[in-house]
Structure formats: structure tokens, C-alpha cells
Amino acid sequence: MPTVKYPIPTQLFIHDKLVDSHSSERHSIYNPVDDSLFCDHVQYATAEDVDAAVDAATAAFNGPWRTYTAAQRGETLLDLAALLLAHKEELAWLDATPSGKPISAAIKEIEMGAGILKYYAGWTDKYAGESFPADDGFLKIVRHEPLGVTVSINPWNGPIVILCLKLGPALATGNVMIIKPSEKTPFGAIRLAELATSAGIVPPGVIQALPGAGATGALLASHMKVRKVSFTGSIATGRRIQQAAASSNLKRVTLELGGKSPAAIFEDCNFDNAIWWSTFAITHNSGQACYAASRLYVQENIADRFINAFTKAMSEKISQMGDPSNPDTQLGPLADKGQLSRVVSFFEHDDGKTRVLVGGKQHGDKGCYWEPTVLLNPKDDAQMYQEEIFGPVVCIKMFKDEADFLRMANDSEFGLMAGVFTQDINRAMRLSAALDSGVVGINCVSYINVQAPFGGSKQSGIGREMSHYALRSFTEPKTVLVNMTY
């Protein structure tokens, strides 16, 4: 077992304390670096635990939290941001160790999460309603009111930073939140809820954490007193959450789902810039990112030059794989044996039909490391070309012109992220309008910013996170009509 640097919280956090699950069952998590046991007594929330957490959240929403002014909610978010930074090494270790994320990247994500909370702290007293003149005898007022009990169902690939993308706008608009972290990375969320409540930053019940697998998420998604679920994860699970929401109380749902992001490399691009972004986009977090640019399309005139340079850059990334606890390590393993098996399955299904230029195999004789991989010209119906792999695997195809690129790029049920590398601004704007994608990067890709909305089209999701668009998804507009003539 790895050296335990901090206490590992394995219980549920409900109301104002850590409590045992109603189930006596305990679960194990293994370190993907060497398959060693990290923790063998993780608890999962049951229906009774979910009910207790929802009751505590309801009481908090209808109680002290509802009396907070907008300014007080802003101060709360600033205090939460400071709390993250004060405990960033602990929170980073708790989530990075069981998932194999390089500790340097995990700390950066904590810092990003703090920045997100600070951003939403600035919105609490600026998210204004509307009014319309009484020229017809009625004054029209629109208020934005909180939904109540909300739920965040989070993935394992960015546990704290993605949590902050949901927690920030939820608290800014006056909601309370129950966190359901991934069963692979539950510890940071539990500890954050405990710290925030014990420090008095939020009243008991405002932030709670219920670790568990899919069954726990299903209980929350179908609960009649939950008013909103924000989910980040797979399309299959997102579909089940939407169905559960519809069949229960028609709770609001935001779904940020998968991607198979295309990027076009035009002959007039800044070559070095295109190489850097293309490499970063598929190796960041070992390719375990929904917006990873996993389909590269290179214009024929520069195809040989680009492929040679890109394969060299990807080969160099292999030498940067190592122990995630080392601050110099840039690439860690995949999250666990299940994720490694998933990546392996794509190559077994392909049965050697696609040409592998770099990688394509497990790295080392232990752990869950997979080498950065470049695939050339997979068939259009190949599974590895059509489906999200969620690993450091990229497919390259060539194209002739804009129309050829668009045909291939839009031929997908995913529509989360896209990139266009060109120095022709007219071309860039034409393609940004024509691409079926929620986000389009010009001379960049696999990049997002809290000031602008993030989300996908097609099966990549419903709704938007970040910016003021996230505030909309955590509020209900209420129209007040005032008769000015009686």
C-alpha cells in the first residue's frame, strides 16, 4: 500500500458529520501505478442515507442558508476558495493517488477550482432580473429564484475542479448541494464537505457528500425532493439520469457527456503551434478528458511533414511517463484496471487493421500505463474512430479542402469540442459556424475558460456549464405582474 500522507475519509458526510452507511458492505480502491491496495473500507450511500441527506439539505435550504444575502453568499464562496487553497496538497493527494493523476496536475486543478469559486463569488450580487415598462398598464418583473436541493454527480478525471464548476453557480444562486463523487475518487469531495461545514463556512446541510456507485446516483436522480441534477460522465449514464429525472418529478438536468473531438490542421497553420496543441490535447490527463482532440484531420499538402513531427512529439511523451507522486511526471497511468481494459478492447476489436505509428500498447509490466498512441487512417466504421476511447489515443486522417474536413468532422454523434488551425481568419470563422460543436477553438483545442459557456451539441450533452449560463441552469425564472391601473 502507498504511504498514507493524510487520513482517508471513507464515510458519508451528512448534515454536519461523518456517518456510517446503512449498508455494512465495504469497497476497495487500488492504486493504478502498481495495482496495490489504496483503501479497502469505502462506504456507499443507501436509500436511507440519501433520504437523510435530502432531508438535511431541505432543512438547510428552508432555514439559515435562505437568509443569506447575495453579498454573504459571495463571501461564502471566497471563503471556500481560500479553504481549497489552504488544503490543496491534502485534497490533491486524496484524489490523485487512487486515480494515478500526476500530483502536479492535481494541485493545478485545485487551484483552478478555487479560481472558479472566486469567479462565481463575484456574480452573487450581479445576477440581475429584468423589468419591462407598464405601457400596457402592467409592470412586468422577472426574478431568478433558486431551485432548492441540487445534486452534483461527478466524474473521476477531474474530481475537485469539475465539482467547483457545479458548486460555484449552485451556491451563488442560493441552492444547496449534495455531492455524489465517483466511486473511483470519493475522498476529496467528502473531505471538502467536512472542512466547509466544520469551519462554519456553510451551515450544516448546505454541502454534503454521498460516495457510491451507479446505484447511489440513481437514487438521487429519481428522488422526489431533488430539484436539479448536474452530471458529468458517459452518454449511457447521462441517458439513465435523464430518464430517472423524467419519470420522477421532472427535475432539471444538466448533462456534460462524452466527446470525439475533431481538429483540422490546414496547410497555412502555425506549424509549431499546431503540433503543441495537438499533442497536449490528447495527452493531458493521459487522454482521459471529454474534450480531448482524438480525431486529427491534416490537409494533404502538409500531411507527411505534420505526421512525422507529431509522431516524434508523441514518442517523446512516452519518456515523460512515470510515478505520479513525482512533481516532474507529466503522464501517469490510466485510472484503474477497468479503464485500461477498455482501451485494450479497442485494439483487440480492431485486430491490427489500423496502422499504429506510435504506442498502441501497455507501458511497463505493472500498473495501468498506456503509451501515447497515434493511429493512421482508421476505417470510417472502425470502433476506435467512432467511439470515445478515453485514453491517449488519436486517429489521423487527411483531407483536401474545407468541405472534405467538415464532412468527416460532423459525421459523428458527438459535438463537444472542435479545433481549427489556420491563419486565414475568414476560413476560421466559416468553419466555426459550420462545425457541429458546442465549443470551437481557433489555433487551439481542448481548452475551456470559466468566462464562456461549455457544453456540447448532439449526444455530447444538454445545457451549459461555466459563465453566467451556469447560473441560469440553477435558477427558475419567476414572472411578477403588477396591475398599475386599478
Are 374 and 358 in contact by the 8 Å Cβ rule? The answer is: yes
Tally of domains in the chain = 2
Q: Which three cell numbers stand for residue 220?
A: 438521487
Q: Are residue 237 and residue 272 in the same domain, yes or no?
A: no
Query: What is the arithmetic mean of pLDDT over 110-139?
Result: 97
Does residue 455 fall inside a structural domain? no
- Distance, in Å, from the CA atom of 452 to the CA atom of 401, rounded to the nearest integer, reads 30
Which residues fall within 8 angstroms of residue 409, CB to CB, at 6 or more apart?
262, 264, 295, 297, 418, 435, 436
Which helix (DSSP H) or strand (DSSP E) does residue 469 occupy?
helix 467-473
Does residue 157 fall inside a structural domain? yes
Q: Are residue 474 and residue 438 in the same domain, yes or no?
A: no
Q: Are residue 303 and residue 330 in the same domain, yes or no?
A: yes
3-state secondary structure of 290: coil
Q: Are residue 402 and residue 419 in the same domain, yes or no?
A: yes
Q: Are residue 180 and residue 279 in the same domain, yes or no?
A: no
3-state secondary structure of 137: coil
Q: Are residue 19 and residue 143 in the same domain, yes or no?
A: yes
pLDDT above 70 (res 485): yes
Residues 6-49: tens digit of each pLDDT: 999 999 999 999 999 999 999 999 999 999 999 999 999 999 99
- Distance, in Å, from the CA atom of 24 to the CA atom of 458, rounded to the nearest integer, reads 41
3-state secondary structure of 246: helix
Residues 318-358: tens digit of each pLDDT: 999 999 999 889 899 999 999 999 999 999 988 788 999 99
163 closest CA partner among 238, 110, 240, 96:
110
350 closest CA partner among 374, 391, 372, 381:
381
Q: Are residue 229 and residue 378 in the same domain, yes or no?
A: no
Q: Are residue 238 and residue 292 in the same domain, yes or no?
A: no
CATH of the domain at 405: 3.40.309.10
The burial class, CB within 10 Å (0-12 / 13-18 / 19+), for 3 is exposed
The residue segments making up the domain with residue 393 are 262-442
Q: Are residue 30 and residue 131 in the same domain, yes or no?
A: yes
Residues 231-288: tens digit of each pLDDT: 999 999 999 999 999 999 999 999 999 999 999 999 999 999 999 999 999 999 999 9
pLDDT above 90 (res 470): yes
pLDDT above 70 (res 1): no
Does residue 187 fall inside a structural domain? yes
Amino acid identity, residue 241?
I
- Distance, in Å, from the CA atom of 352 to the CA atom of 342, rounded to the nearest integer, reads 16
Strands lying side by side in the sheet with 12-14: 17-19, 12-14, 207-209, 176-180, 149-153, 228-232, 252-256, 461-462
Which of 318-322, 435-439, 475-479 shows the lowest per-residue confidence on average (mean pLDDT)?
318-322
Does residue 447 fall inside a structural domain? no
Q: Are residue 238 and residue 320 in the same domain, yes or no?
A: no
Does residue 99 fall inside a structural domain? yes
pLDDT at position 454: 97
pLDDT at position 350: 82
Which of 207-211, 328-332, 348-352, 462-466 shows the lowest per-residue confidence on average (mean pLDDT)?
348-352
pLDDT at position 155: 96
CATH of the domain at 90: 3.40.605.10
The residue count for the chain? 486
Does residue 294 fall inside a structural domain? yes
Strands lying side by side in the sheet with 262-265: 355-358, 373-376, 393-399, 295-299, 262-265, 417-421, 439-442
- Distance, in Å, from the CA atom of 251 to the CA atom of 472, rounded to the nearest integer, reads 15
pLDDT above 70 (res 162): yes
Q: Are residue 327 and residue 210 in the same domain, yes or no?
A: no
Does residue 448 fall inside a structural domain? no
pLDDT at position 2: 57
pLDDT at position 110: 97
Q: Are residue 83 and residue 97 in the same domain, yes or no?
A: yes
Residue 111 known to be catalytic: no
The residue annotated as part of the active site, out of 194, 256, 371, 465, is: 256
- Distance, in Å, from the CA atom of 393 to the CA atom of 220, rounded to the nearest integer, reads 34
Q: Which three cell numbers stand for residue 107?
A: 494541485
Does residue 366 fall inside a structural domain? yes
Q: How confident is the model at residue 4 (pLDDT cuts 50, 70, 90)?
A: confident
Q: Which three cell numbers stand for residue 113?
A: 477550482
Q: In percent, how much of the chain has pLDDT > 70?
A: 100
